[in-house]
Amino acid sequence: MKLSELRDSLARNPESTLGFQLPDGSAIRADFHVTEVGHVTKRFIDCGGKTHSSEACILQVWLADNDKEHRLMAGKLASILELAKPVMPAADLDVEIEYEKGVVSQYPVASIEAAPGRLEIKLSLKHTDCLAREACGLDQACCGTEGCC
User: Model confidence over 14-65: pLDDT tens digits?
Assistant: 999 999 999 999 999 999 999 999 999 999 999 999 999 999 999 999 998 8
Q: CA-to-CA distance for 60 and 38, rounded, in angstroms?
A: 8
Residue 125's SS3 state is: coil
Torsional class of 34: left (φ above 0), alpha (ψ -120 to 50), beta (otherwise): beta
Distant-in-sequence, close-in-space partners of 54: CB < 8 Å, separation ≥ 6: 41, 42
Q: For residue 18, what are the β-bridge partners?
A: 119
- CA angle, 125 as apex, 68 and 130 as ends, to 5°? 145
pTM of this prediction?
0.87
Q: CA-to-CA distance for 145 and 133, rounded, in angstroms?
A: 18
The pLDDT assigned to 69 comes to 87
User: Model confidence over 92-139: pLDDT tens digits?
Assistant: 999 999 999 999 999 999 999 999 999 999 999 999 999 988 887 886
57-93 burial, b for 16+ CB within 10 Å, e for fewer?
bbbbbebeeeeeeeebbbeebbebbeebeeeeeeeeb
